[in-house]
């Protein structure tokens, strides 16, 4: 009962502070968008994991320039690159394919680098902090003025997925609130380094992704997921749905609690970007976003047992690039929505400041 009263109190406090949070863009006071710094996983990684994989698991050196790539998890440019192009801003991308928030919660080993995937808390944030203090040719390596730099945090797909919470593979005793608190711990370190404008992106409806979808919605978990036994794909999909909804509800209440009650980030502005609704809108209203005939259950790239892959035609009609990742078309839509968030005019964002 205590938790119910806490939620009721939070709801009353947030309603009193901001009667219409989603429309309260006046709390977002970014004057000029100059640079974007991103943290996350393969949904955001442009080429950083490629460095690890091609250097025997060694991390890029301080001052490494992340090369632009149109060969990402989307099958083309990643959403953050579309933002950089359309808004004409600098992009500093610290996301790593396969990342979780912390390897102290849900470590995931990968043979190609002979270690765990680099995580947000243990690798990405320290790499950003090191770069932020690096000087080259007499000038700071990163052009990140506090008044014009937006910091994006989008993590959770691997934390909630296979080899982590979905398959009970997290560190014993760890729970979903540990994952969300990890996100805020990472934000603490970014804030302490001078960041003041944050976009926290919640988790997409992973139960609709082909890997975790139900069989009637084109789910392929029995083929690409845990094949050690005979998985109940429907049960897997519904468990994923429950985890995603739980985490997103925690974000919804924890963010205003940290800002309004605990005063955890004084002077900072936050936008909670509703990635769940953005992807759901594309899924349930595809004709408004995708080329005809729209396909929201299939995916573009298909690979055989030998690892040879081919792509289906009419790529602009697909929501998904492969069984886990959004397509480049979807990423271009995400970029449009992100720019709207940064401009303070998004219906998919709740603004706090």
The 10s digit of each residue's pLDDT in 23-53 is 567 779 898 999 999 999 999 999 999 999 9
- Mean pLDDT of the chain, nearest integer: 93
The rounded distance, in Å, linking the Cα atoms of 77 and 131 is 24
Domain hosting residue 242, numbered range: 18-208+230-277+331-346
In a domain, 82, yes or no: yes
- CA-nearest of 217, 218, 330 to 275 is 330
pLDDT at residue 235 in the model: 95
Instruction: Judge whether residue 19 has pLDDT over 60.
Output: no
pLDDT tops 90 at residue 2: no
User: Does residue 288 lie within any of the structural domains?
Assistant: no
Q: At CA 36, angle to CA 34 and CA 38, rounded to 5? A: 175
Express as a percent the part of the chain with pLDDT over 70. Answer: 92
Q: Identify whether 266 is part of a domain.
A: yes
Residue 193, domain member (yes or no): yes
- Whichever domain contains 93, its CATH number is 3.40.50.1110
Q: Is residue 299 part of a domain?
A: no
Give the residue among 347, 315, 342 at the shortest CA–CA distance from 83: 342
pLDDT at site 136 = 95
Q: How many domains does the chain have?
A: 1
CB 341 within 8 A of CB 348: yes
Say which residue the tokens 């009962």 belong to. Answer: 1
pLDDT digits (tens, 9 = 90+) for 113-169: 999 999 999 999 999 999 999 999 999 999 999 999 999 999 999 999 999 999 999
222 within some domain: no
| Structure confidence at residue 353 as a pLDDT band (50, 70, 90) | confident
Does a structural domain hold residue 108? yes
Position 297 in a domain = no
Residue 8 has pLDDT above 90, yes or no: no
């Amino acid at each position: 009962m205590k938790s119910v009263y806490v939620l009721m109190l939070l709801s009353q406090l947030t309603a009193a502070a901001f009667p219409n949070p989603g429309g309260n863009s006046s709390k977002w006071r970014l004057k000029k968008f100059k640079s974007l710094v991103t943290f996350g996983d393969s949904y955001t990684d442009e080429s950083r994991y490629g460095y690890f994989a091609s250097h025997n698991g060694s991390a890029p050196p301080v001052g490494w320039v992340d090369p632009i790539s149109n060969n990402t998890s989307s099958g083309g440019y990643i959403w953050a690159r579309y933002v950089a192009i359309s808004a004409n801003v600098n992009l500093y991308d610290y996301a790593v394919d396969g990342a979780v928030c912390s390897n102290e919660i849900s470590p995931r080993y990968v043979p190609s680098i002979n270690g765990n995937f680099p995580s947000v808390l243990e690798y990405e944030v320290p790499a950003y902090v090191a770069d932020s203090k690096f000087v080259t040719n007499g000038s700071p390596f990163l052009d990140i003025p506090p008044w014009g730099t937006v910091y994006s945090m989008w993590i959770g797909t691997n934390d909630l997925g296979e080899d982590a919470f979905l398959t009970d593979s997290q560190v014993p005793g760890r729970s979903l609130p540990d994952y969300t608190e990890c996100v805020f711990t990472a934000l603490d370190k970014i804030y302490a380094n001078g960041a003041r404008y944050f976009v926290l992106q919640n988790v997409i409806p992973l139960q609709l992704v082909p890997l975790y979808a139900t069989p009637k919605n084109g789910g392929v978990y029995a083929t690409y997921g845990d094949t050690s036994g005979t998985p109940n794909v429907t049960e897997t999909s519904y468990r994923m749905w429950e985890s995603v909804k739980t985490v997103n509800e925690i974000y919804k209440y924890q963010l205003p609690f940290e800002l309004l009650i605990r005063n955890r980030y004084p002077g900072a502005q936050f936008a909670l970007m509703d990635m769940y609704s953005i992807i759901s809108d594309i899924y349930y209203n595809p004709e408004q976003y995708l080329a005809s005939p729209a396909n929201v259950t299939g995916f573009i790239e298909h690979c055989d047992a030998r690892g040879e892959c081919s792509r289906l035609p009419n790529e602009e009609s697909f929501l998904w690039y492969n069984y886990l990742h959004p397509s480049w078309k979807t990423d271009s839509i995400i970029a449009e929505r992100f720019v709207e968030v940064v401009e303070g005019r998004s219906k998919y964002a709740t603004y706090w400041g």
